[in-house]
Structure 1
Amino acid sequence: SEGFDQQIADQKLQVENLKSALHKLEQKLAEAEAKSDMLIAQHHRSRALGKVSDARIAIGDSSKAAAFDRMKRKVMHSEATSQAKSELAGSDVEDRLAALEKEDQIDKLLAELKARRSVNV
């Protein structure tokens, strides 16, 4: 019976050791789950910050692009205005030249008429 008592005592000791090991493993598992949850939360936060940064960059780029487009429109407007003024000024000059040519032609015709008249008289 003493042998059985010793076996029972040994078994109880092993059971206590196993319970202690199980408790330690459960603690480690809880710590691992907490770390996993924390890493997942950090990952989600990192992704959210990345999306915010991308949005800020996109907004910054679009505002730069919008400013570039406005400047381009201003330059195009200025060029169109200058070209229109040049054409208007050019047409005045062309009109003046055409008028001068007509005056020259009229003067030539008058001179021819006077010459014919003096020949006929």
Structure 2
Amino acid sequence: MPLLERVTTLLRANLNDLIDKAEDPEKMMKQLLLDMENQLLQVKTQVAIAVADLHLLENRKREHEESATGWHRKAELAIARNDEALARMALDRSLSAQQMAGSFAQQMDDQQMEVETMRNAYLQLQTRLKETEAQCELLITRNRRAKAAGKATAAQTKIADGAALRSLDRMKTKILGQEAENSGAQAVLGLNTVEDRFHKLERESRIDDLLLELKQQQRLPG
């Protein structure tokens, strides 16, 4: 594709449409800016070449104009010397030089139009690049903010769906159940301990009675 056609394509590109179609908008925007910078550099180079060619055409036109003037003076000199044949040859050379100067003048007009076209393309692309850089900077910021918001929304949705709360409820129920079991076990252990103590007291009392009976039987001092 010719350079100007590529530039026109970039100038007509709809940034929003490109972003909508891109899988990675940020990567696409960076690539677009890189493409525009490369095209801008190429257009700038072509403008410099076109201007150089215009100067070359100007020099060639001036050379032929000077040549035409020089041959015309020689024709005048030949006539002054009554050398008509030589004068005709000089005039012929002068006409040829004039024709060449006219051709270069036409080429200069065409080249001037090309220079203006390239310059306009360069200025438009330069302006579009600055605008696109600003747009991309804003869109990249918005894209990153949207991603962050999306992650936050996903986290909120995950919490809102009750899964985490249900897990907490199950854990709470399990803990309460364990506490109840522990309380019941402690209660049972407490009862057993009281019964054991009374049983021990009764046994000790029975042993005291038996011991007293033995002492009485043996008439031992109490």
Answer whether TM exceeds 0.5 for this pair.
Answer: yes
Identify the range of structure 1 (104-113 vs 94-103) with the bigger mean alpha-carbon deviation.
94-103
User: How far apart in 1 are the matches of 2:174 and 2:113?
Assistant: 87
Extract unaligned runs of 5+ from structure 1.
none
User: How far apart in 1 are the matches of 2:202 and 2:123?
Assistant: 113
After superposition, what is the alpha-carbon deviation per residue over 1:1-30, rounded to whole angstroms, capped at 9, x for unaligned?
Answer: 221331243133123212211211211220
1:109 corresponds in structure 2 to 193
Please say which structure displays the higher CA radius of gyration.
Answer: 2
Deviation at 1:39, TM superposition (A): 3.2
One-letter amino acid of the counterpart of residue 55, structure 1: E
One-letter amino acid of the counterpart of residue 114, structure 2: A
1:18 corresponds in structure 2 to 100
Q: Pick the aligned partner of 1:40 from 100, 119, 122.
A: 122
Deviation at 1:76, TM superposition (A): 6.5
User: How far apart in 1 are the matches of 2:141 and 2:108?
Assistant: 49
One-letter amino acid of the counterpart of residue 147, structure 2: A
Identify the range of structure 1 (101-110 vs 60-69) with the bigger mean alpha-carbon deviation.
60-69
| CA-atom RMSD in angstroms | 3.4
1:51 aligns with 2:51: no
User: How far apart in 1 are the matches of 2:159 and 2:130?
Assistant: 41
User: How far apart in 2 are the matches of 1:14 and 1:97?
Assistant: 121
Indicate the structure with greater helix content: 1
Identify the range of structure 1 (27-36 vs 75-84) with the bigger mean alpha-carbon deviation.
75-84
One-letter amino acid of the counterpart of residue 143, structure 2: D
Matched residue count: 121
Extract unaligned runs of 5+ from structure 2.
1-82, 207-222
Report sequence identity in percent: 6
User: How far apart in 2 are the matches of 1:6 and 1:82?
Assistant: 113
1:65 corresponds in structure 2 to 147
2:178 corresponds in structure 1 to 94
Q: Pick the aligned partner of 1:7 from 86, 89, 99.
A: 89
- Relative contact order higher in (CA < 8 Å, ≥ 6 apart): 2
The two structures have a TM-score, normalised by structure 1, of: 0.67
Q: Pick the aligned partner of 2:110 from 28, 31, 44.
A: 28
User: How far apart in 2 are the matches of 1:65 and 1:79?
Assistant: 24
The two structures have a TM-score, normalised by structure 2, of: 0.42
Deviation at 1:103, TM superposition (A): 0.6
After superposition, what is the alpha-carbon deviation per residue over 1:20-43, rounded to whole angstroms, capped at 9, x for unaligned?
Answer: 112112112202212221332354
